[in-house]
Every structure is written in structure tokens, then in C-alpha cells.
Chain A
Amino acid sequence: MSLASIASLDRRWIFLAVGLLVILPLAFGFHIAPVEPSPRSRGFYDAIEKLPEGSTVLLAGDYDPSTIAENYPMHLAAARHLMRRNMKIIALALYPAGPPLTDQVLHLVGEEFHKKEGIDYVNLGYKTGNELVMSSMGSSIPRTFPVDRRGIAVTQIPVMKGIQNYEQFALLVNVSAGFPGTKEWVQQVVSRYHLPMVAGVTAVSAPEYYPYLQTGQLHGLLGGMAGAAEYEALIERPALAMRGMDAQSLAHVFIALMILLGNLAFLGKQPARRA
């Protein structure tokens, strides 16, 4: 097979290879390499570890099922870390399709740690308005979210007792897929109310938040499934992201090889073109 003939490779072979490289590690769970936490993931972990036990934390799950592979594992890991340290969680979502995912995370982890909805955590649900919701919460959270996702008045919910605005939170944990998300929370809340913040974001959007990390506006950052896997390693609770790391490793290597192969095929065609 000549280099030039590679160029005409049917793309269905590429699709098949990607499919196998992703499915086989997920199905058989072999282990290619250990996960080494980066300073960004460690910053995320340390920010929660440094909080006094029983602090109240705002957990914003700003994503929907389209990015579930990346955001859900970090959301789950963050909830596990927070509940393990007996934090009170006030959760919300600024994506319309986000609240059911937040419910799933809180109910699943709540059962693991024997936490009760309304007493140890609450899901305030979704509110339209993007940055305006963030800004409005700075004045009054009960006014912005008069009821929780179940329709119960927040004044009747024990975990909401004393919660008026951002002053009552020790940390903002944001799991974000884009807009509205990490950037808006930094601009509307961190810069204005000086609430410490950590974020877990999709890999494709992670580079956007490095400036905030460098300035200290973000204390930690989880980038994509790899970031979630690093965080799972730190909390010593391997789960969804760790299982996906082998598949992601192989897929990345394959894409790098495809770039190389594509260019070799391109070089192989060059003399023919000149002729």
C-alpha cells in the first residue's frame, strides 16, 4: 500500500477504529496508565478541603445532557467531596435541562452519605435570566428563588435558614458547559462579592478560564473528563471519569496518528501533483 493510496482511505474505517478504541476499554476496563492530579485539580480539591466542616456551599450545575460525559462525573465527585465533609449544599442550575441532573447527583450521593433533602441539601432548580439571576442572588436569594425545585417555599426549608445572599456561602462550586457558566459567575459574583470559587468545565472550554486561574479568581479548575478523573483520584473515589480515561487516552493517540498519517498521505501525493 503506497502513501498516496492511504489518502483514499474510506472514513468508515476511521469511524470503526474510533468506536472500537472507545468501546473496548469501557467494556473491559483495562488500565493503561495511572492518573496524576494536576495543580489545577489539586487547587479544586484543596479549596474544599480548607473549608471548615459544615460550611454552606453554592453548587451551580450549569450544563445539560449534551455534555454529561464530561460534566456529570465532576459534578458527582464534587458532591461526594462536599457531603463527605458534611457541607450544606445549596444547588441550582442556569441551564433549562440541568435541574434533573442536579437532582440525580444530589439524591445518589445523599443516599451514600445518609444526607436528607431540605436538611443537608436543596435543589433550587432553574431560573431564567442568566447573569441577571447571579446578580439578583447578590441582593436576595429567597426573592430570586422563592421556592425550590419541588415547589416548597425556601422559607420552610431548614438548610435555607439564614441564607440571604452570597455572604452566607464559603465557596462557589460551578460545573459548567459554557454560557451561562464559569465566566459569568466570575464576572458577576467573584469580582463583585469576592466569593471564592472553583470550576469544573468541558475540555474544549477550559483554556478560556486559565486567565482567571492565574489571577486567583478561580482557586481550582477541572478540565473535561481528564480533570474529573484527577479529582476522583484526589478524593480516592474512582468512578465514571477514571473508567473513561483509557478510552480517552487511546482516542487521543489515534487522532494524533490520524494527523500524522493524513500528512504522510498528503506528502505521498505531492510528486504526482508537480508532474
Chain B
Amino acid sequence: MKREIPILITLITGVFCLIGFFVPHPLIRNFYDDIQQWVIVIVGATYVLGVANLLRINMVQVSQRSPDWPYKIVLLAGLLGMMAIGFSEGAHYSDDGSKFQWMYNRVYSPMSATMFALLAFFIASAAFRAFRIRSFEALLLAIAAFILMIGRVPIGNAIHPIIPAAADWLMEVPQNAAKRGILIGAALGVMATGIRLILGMEKTYGSGEST
């Protein structure tokens, strides 16, 4: 029963959601909407679990003085500090000039943007050290990269209008063809996985095993 009940629940809700997607009759639609609301609530609850798990793992690592434990103190201080400030301001946490907004604008936002901005430095370094043209395919990739990098910014058009035109062709023809193939393949894979889940052939969500 431990295995059969989850499979039965998956089968019933899976088939019902499929029907609900296509049938707009109020009888089905209302229950379909209710299921969606339940799932939204469950997903929200998982955030609480996520925070609890993060706290537990990091507090254990700090208490055991595991490698890089000082960084985990920073993480815990950031998490608990933001939460404390947010809760202390109640419903006004999002008001202009609130402490939470100050933390968001002056600490979280610049740090987050900095992490992404660091990519520019590492991409330049990687371009110099790792992008080696060792084969014909690598040569094609390098030519495409050159055209796209120069053609995607105004300087490309200033050098010659053919560069952005070539960049557009690369994106709209070969790239698009490959991307479309990947999209169709992925969609078929998702459909197959969905059918396997509904029919109980895929049980990884329950037991960690697949048959």
C-alpha cells in the first residue's frame, strides 16, 4: 500500500489535470483551479522547509568548525538579519525608506549584481586561456563567436553593416534550427516522462528508484 497509494494519487490527479487543461466546464474547471491553489500553497510551504534546512545544515557545520565555517556565519547572519528586519517592519517592510528596502538596495542588490558582473572578467580570461582552435569545428565556432560578439554591439555596424547582418543570419538560421530541434526533443521527453509518471512507470518521486 505504501507504493500503491502515491501511484494512485498521481494517476488520478495527473489524468484530472490533463482533462482540466482542455475542458472548460465549470464542474471540472473549479476543482482544477482548487488543485492549482493547493499546489501554490504547498510550494510556498516548501520555502519554509528550505530555510529550516539551510539553517540546520549551516549551524551544524559552524558548530563542527568544518572547512570555510566563517563564511557560513556570514550566510546565517545575512539570512537571519534580513528576516529580523523584515519581520520587525511588518506590513511596511516594502515601503520606500524602510530598513528592509535599504538593505535590499544597498547590500543585496549590489552584491548580487557584482556576482553576475564578475563573469565579464572570467570570460575574458577564459577566452585567452581555454578557447583553442584545434579542429575545423572549433574554427567554425570561433568564426561564429567573432561575428556574433562584434555584430551584436554598435561597433559592429560601424565597422561594416555586413557584420550585424551576418550575426542575424547566424542567429535566425543555423542557431534557430538547432534550438528548434532541441525544443522539440525536450518537449517530447517531457511528454514521455509525464505519461510514465501518470502510469506509475516512473517512481523516482516516491522511492528514489526507477523501473
Q: How far is the CA of A245 from the CA of B105 in the complex (A)?
A: 24
What 1/0 flags go to B118-157 for Cβ under 8 Å of A?
0011011101111111000000001001100110111101
Contact (Cβ within 8 A) A256 B149: yes
A9 contacts partner chain B, Cβ-Cβ < 8 Å: yes
Q: How far is the CA of A141 from the CA of B37 in the complex (A)?
A: 12
**Across-interface contacts of B105 in A (CB, < 8 A):** 100
* With A100-B104, A252-B149: A18-B127 Cβ-Cβ less than 8 Å: no
A259 contacts partner chain B, Cβ-Cβ < 8 Å: yes
Contact (Cβ within 8 A) A69 B116: yes
Contact (Cβ within 8 A) B39 A132: yes
* With A14-B125, A15-B121, A259-B145: A132-B116 Cβ-Cβ less than 8 Å: no
Q: Which of A127, A132, A259 contacts B127 (CB 8 A)?
A: A259
Count the A residues whose beta carbon is within 8 Å of the partner chain — how many? 66
A2 contacts partner chain B, Cβ-Cβ < 8 Å: no
Contact (Cβ within 8 A) A251 B120: yes
Contact (Cβ within 8 A) A36 B154: yes
A275 contacts partner chain B, Cβ-Cβ < 8 Å: no
CB-based A-B contact count at 8 angstroms: 165
What 1/0 flags go to A29-60 for Cβ under 8 Å of B?
00011111010000000000000000000000
Q: Which of B32, B101, B113, B133 contacts A66 (CB 8 A)?
A: B113
Interface pick from B57-65, B73-81, B167-175, B202-210: B167-175
Count the B residues whose beta carbon is within 8 Å of the partner chain — how many? 56
**Across-interface contacts of A258 in B (CB, < 8 A):** 124-125, 127-128
Contact (Cβ within 8 A) B142 A252: no
Minimum C-beta distance from A63 to chain B (A): 11
Interface pick from B3-11, B176-184, B191-199: B176-184
Nearest B residue (CB) for A206:
B171
Q: Which residues, 29 to 53 on B, are CB-close (under 8 Å) to A?
A: 29, 32-33, 36-37, 39-40, 43-44, 47
Q: Which of B101, B121, B146, B155 contacts A100 (CB 8 A)?
A: B101
Contact (Cβ within 8 A) B94 A128: no
**Across-interface contacts of A67 in B (CB, < 8 A):** 116
Contact (Cβ within 8 A) B146 A136: no
Nearest A residue (CB) for B24:
A139
**Across-interface contacts of B183 in A (CB, < 8 A):** 211
7 residue pairs from A and B, CB less than 8 Å apart: A33-B154, A34-B157, A34-B158, A38-B164, A68-B109, A133-B40, A258-B128
Closest 6 CB pairs of A and B: A33-B158, A129-B40, A33-B154, A249-B155, A65-B109, A65-B112
Contacts A252-B153, A255-B123, A259-B145 known; 5 new A-B pairs at CB < 8 A? A19-B121, A33-B155, A107-B96, A128-B47, A226-B152
